[in-house]
A and B are shown apart, each in its own frame.
Chain A
Amino acid sequence: MKIVDARANRPQYLPETASQTAGPYVHIGLAPGAAGFRIFDRELGWDIAGPNAAGERIRVEGLVIDGTGSPVKDVLIEVWQANAAGIYAHPEGGGEVEDGFRGWGRVITDFETGEWGFDTVKPGPVRARGRMVSGVSQRVRDSHPDWQGRAQEDNVPMAPHLNLWIVARGINIGLNTRMYFDDEAAANAADPVLNLIEWERRRATLIARRTVRDGTPVYRFDIRLQGEDETVFFDV
């Protein structure tokens, strides 16, 4: 592998490996049980919260809908979330999480209907970006104190949300989006990410609707890849 990138503006960096579609048979690799066979002792991503997580137990359900209005039946979604205290299960996630809480899940659709769903706990608000700059940028900012208050939104916590990553046949590079909760209206109104979206009516595409079924809160979140009310996707 060449260490020097040919493009003059990125000397010394390796170029990122290009994405390719996950294809129609993504289940073989990432959810072989759904492909129709058993191979691994343990499939990954089916238990997001574990038995010990604090907070409200919820279910999340939806469809991914293509530009013709049809459900996408071969999609795979990964979810990444904080626990009820707003902490991620990661060395830099802001603290300790409950034993067994991973905050990561993998869900596929029903091949006949395209419906997907998973059980988890409702996350808490996540701490603000703060001064999340470092290295050279941090040194520049530290030497110019007037830059410290540059971005007001850096100090506002993020409303409770799930981070979603969507791959499928026909999707050339995974799509990142977020799901927020409609019973968090005040937090959503202050959320620095929702407020980045210039078109206010598009913010609604990221907000799931709460109902209660058999005593369990169920949030409905349909994702529209294209067309009217196209879901907001992020370049993260």
Chain B
Amino acid sequence: MDLMLSSFLTVVTSPSLMGLMLLAVPIGLFFGAIPGLGGKLGVVLLIPFVFGMEPIAGAVFLLAMHAVVHTGGSIPSILFGVPGTGPDAATIVDGFPMAKRGEAGRALGASLGASGVGGVIGAIFLAAMLPILRPVVLAFSPAEFFLLALFGITFIATLSGASLRKGLLVGMFGLMLSFVALDPHTGTQRYTHDMLFLWDGVDVITAVLGLFAIPEMIGLGAKGGSIAQTTTVARYSIAQVLDGIVDVFRHFGLTLRTSVIGAVIGMIPGLGGDAASWICYGHAVQSSKTPERFGQGAVEGVIAPETANNSKEGGSLLPTLFFGVPGSSGMAILLGAFIMLGIKPGPAMALTGMETVWILIWTLCVSNLLAVVVFLAMAPAFGMLVYVRGALIIPFVVTLSFLGAFLSHGAWENIVLLCVLGVFGVFLRKHRWPRPPFIIGLVLGPIAEDSLHKAMGIWGPTFFLRPQSLAMIALIVGSIGYYFWRRKRQAAIEVQYDV
């Protein structure tokens, strides 16, 4: 306890550490906000600058930068339907419709509040988890990965909106496309037609851009006007942004749950941020009393993924520090940097390095709060962008989309893929087919496949008979049952009122 407080004081009373964080936070926001850059590249590019720094100072600088990337990543998601980073893609589904409704400021506020609160709750939750870290991380084996991915895939139903059939079709198409890649176990080519860029699978950022950004921009061009489709005059509104932040507390139960889910998913190496934010988005829809509002600009749809993608940062820090096993690919690079700086992660941390651990946890909290302040100063101005005439904004967004598709893997072929998926997206939008199920299939398909192979290899076909797996199966069955029960009840109400 003493250590916890003293390290907090070390962080906030040290001008140099606070200064470094103040420097790192805008850099992190920038790397998040430009589609295709992301936190990993940010750390890699900053590593040369931390050589020669004190170990703690260097680690604080890099971690603060990495922790707030997704706070920045939500800006283009909400304003233009272009995800800044993969895990910010889920924010588009409701954030962009909010912008269209003239509530960009509120959406930005909600995302900002959710990111900040998520980051802090994530860090607090992790501090509480420290004593039982090992059993929790190790409780998740390939069998649970498979079932967790399956659980996420069942959200396709919830995210289908009015027509389950259409949702399933789109979701299955996404799953199908997720198998375009090299077989992860045998290296056999699957539907790649000798094109190298497909060997790693269909790029998720490109798919999100194709399905959301491109059709929305074409839609905007056809309709004319600005992204915000209101007749009210554009306002520079800090009140709206503050209202968005208050939204986070109006839905505090959801904020708390998705922060914890995000932190746990982050803690388990191998699932990744994309899965975390989509699973939390699915959870928000599922647990809502009015799921039909989602996709039309429900503020919960912004809160859920944004809490998750910030709280998972703290989650993935823990196995990195205590086992030397990185919780995410970004953490893997941070791990390398930590070792270079002279911080040696491993179980010995618990004995000799607890002060460092606490300082890093406090860094997560403080940098997330700093990001809120920095961002708050800019959000109302950003919010004005959605009132800019379409003719001026479309070329900018389309350029950003093409840039994002290219940068995410450095492959020009992704630009062609973007066009192909863009046509597909236009078709889906025009005929009002749901688009999120496609991304769910694409993100979770490979996790499900890979972990199924491993689970079969370890336990054989009876892998799901272990207690943890049975609990997960119960969760899946319960979630499907709940969905059908709710549909039936809704149908009954509709008949009653004859609507």
- A and B form one complex: no
Interface residues of B (CB under 8 A from A): none
Interface residues of A (CB under 8 A from B): none
